[in-house]
Amino acid sequence: MASFDGLRCKPLLACALATGLMAPAGALAWTKYTPSGDAKREDVPKEYRWSLEHLFGSYEEWEQLFTQLEGQLPELEPCRGTLAQGAQQIKKCLDLSFGLKQELYRLAVFADADYSTDRTLSAAKVRSDRVQALFTRFSEASSFIQPELLAIEPDVLRSYIKAEPGLEPYAHTLEDLIRRRAHILSPDQERILALTGDLAATPYSIHAAIEEDVKFPPVIDENGKEIALTMASFPGFRDSQNREFRKQAVDKFFGTLRAYARSFAASLDAAVKANIMYAKARGYESALEASVDANAVPPVVYKTLVEATRANLPKTLHRYVKLRQKLMGIDEVHYYDLYTALFPKASMDMPYPEATKVVLESLKPLGKDYIKMVEVGLDPKNGWVDVYPNKGKRSGAYCNSSYRRHPIVFLNHLDRLEDVFTLTHEFGHALHFHLANQAQAFPNADAPIFLAEIASTFNETLLLDHLLKKAKTKEQRLALLNKRVESIRTTVFRQVMFAEFEAAIHAEVEGGGALTADRLAEIYEGLVRTYYGPDFKVGPDDGYEWAYIPHFYYNFYVYQYATGLMSAIALAKNVTSGDKKATKRYLDFLAEGGSDWPIDSLKRAGVDLTTAEAMQATFDLFAKTLDEIEALLAK
């Protein structure tokens, strides 16, 4: 079973090398390759495909661990009713529970990664589903632990931690339980809630199924050719430089969603009611309070975020919409005018090998040790990265990690500038995982979601700053400045608008209202008008964009994209100022993982999100960037 002693190696790079988690990087050698979504996986050169052998050497080995863990679940039962016996019994049962969880994560990381690279493989889908089911059974089998621990008086529980050194890795976990004491139920009640895990996931599954059933009419390109309009192709059509084409795509896309709106509304209504049910069951005043409390985030952060964003709309987003109208030479700005590039001729696309060099250059402010760790991850012989698309591979990008094993980075690199930002974004996650896994015991290694997007967007901020310094032409600089504006628009303003929508629809149900398709569209359209301002023309179906956003099923998740980027901008400003202490604080923050309350971790790094000050830095940067664009255009 797992051991939870912290490695505490210093420096962390030496620790990574000493534990065999990373092989030293050599000169990178790449095979020339042109990406294609229709390529067979075996036709993608080996160095562009990750290796999962550090997780499991074979499917048989995976099956052996699955069977072993399945057989060990009953070992939790003898712990039931015994935790009040004292520190040693608590340690024994927590070691068993967290040891099982650690190995379950390893099963899941492998299964999900394997399925991601080829979704036509039914065996891979089955493995992924089996792990999810095993997690549910584990949750049920271990559901008595929290209530039994909380039956012990807090001062007594704290005395156990002091008396038993083996409980030290669980100190923060136990303090978090004490913090949430009023919201933990009896063992039988917790077991019932654990059994509802699959039901709670059903609304999202229904949403995904409806998406699969939706059939969009084709769009007609400028040559009169029919092109399939799908969920996957829509973002590209929305970006088109041809205004009539993108208008056609948006009208058909949202018009079709509106036709299915009652079904989408029913699934979203079910998700909202599930969130409210869990909040009420645990004694929270609202679903919002329950959600943020899970990460020990005070509700004032959510409230401050919305208020600060609204207060800054006139000098930021409203002004940007007006600037778009002027630069595009149009009478009105519609939804289909928001995503097209303002400076399309400033092409800065680059193949993956070149992208790796640019990323490494941009990360130099973080120091040699950080750079060496990224070099190791990028080295093809170490098998961290799955680079290019292939037939059957899922879309998007992500990073995942199994404790004390190197992270894996999933990409669909198409040699575009946007893909370079995705690469550095995912390596921000990778190094966050890696540093925390080295420095922390397993119970404290995972950073909460509230902190998880900071490292990734921090890297993107450094990359953009680096590219701006290297820009060779006025057009390139304009395009990069607009990239910054668009990043803040979509990650802060758009996500805060989503966050307001989430809060509004939950409040609607909590107040006795009903979430019909028309009511959802009414709430959403009102927010669109507020956020984009007087120079934005709302289309007849714009209010139905909510049906397109799967994040509304993630239970107040999206606000953390905004706070993450805001924190990253503030932290990157400190690091790039040349303050070595700021760099150390940031790297220490990454290594902390989830070992402290997220608000306190961020404060030590230099950001306090309980006030609007750190948030204001982002709004000021947005306005300053608009100033720079206008000044360049005036030359």
Query: Could you list the active site residues?
Result: 426
Q: Is the peptide bond before 11 cis (omega within 30 degrees of 0)?
A: yes
For residue 574, give the H/E element and its range: helix 559-576
Q: Indicate the DSSP class of residue 384.
A: -
Burial (Cβ within 10 Å: 0-12, 13-18, ≥19) of residue 310: middle
Q: Give me 167's structure tokens.
A: 């409980």
Distance separating the N- and C-terminal Cα atoms of the chain:
67
- Which amino acid type is present at position 419? D
Distance CA 177, CA 184 (A): 8
Which of 490, 524, 532 minimizes the C-alpha distance to 313? Answer: 532
Q: Give me 347's structure tokens.
A: 């092409």
For residue 221, how many C-alpha atoms fall within 13 Å in the half-sphere facing its CB? 10
Category of 27 on φ-ψ map: left (φ > 0), alpha (ψ -120 to 50) or beta: beta
Answer positive or negative: Cα dihedral of 36, 37, 38, 43: positive
Percent helix, strand, coil in the chain, to 5, is: 65, 0, 30
CA 464 remoteness from chain centre: 20
Distance CA 440, CA 80 (A): 28
Task: Give the relative orientation of helices 187-195 and 122-141 as an angle to the nearest 10 degrees.
Answer: 170
Q: What is the greatest pairwise CA distance in the chain?
A: 77
Burial (Cβ within 10 Å: 0-12, 13-18, ≥19) of residue 156: exposed
Q: Give me 451's structure tokens.
A: 């902190």
Distance CA 565, CA 256 (A): 33
- Which amino acid type is present at position 227? I
Which of 386, 424, 375, 364 minimizes the C-alpha distance to 28? Answer: 375
Distance CA 443, CA 73 (A): 19
For residue 446, how many C-alpha atoms fall within 13 Å in the half-sphere facing its CB? 14
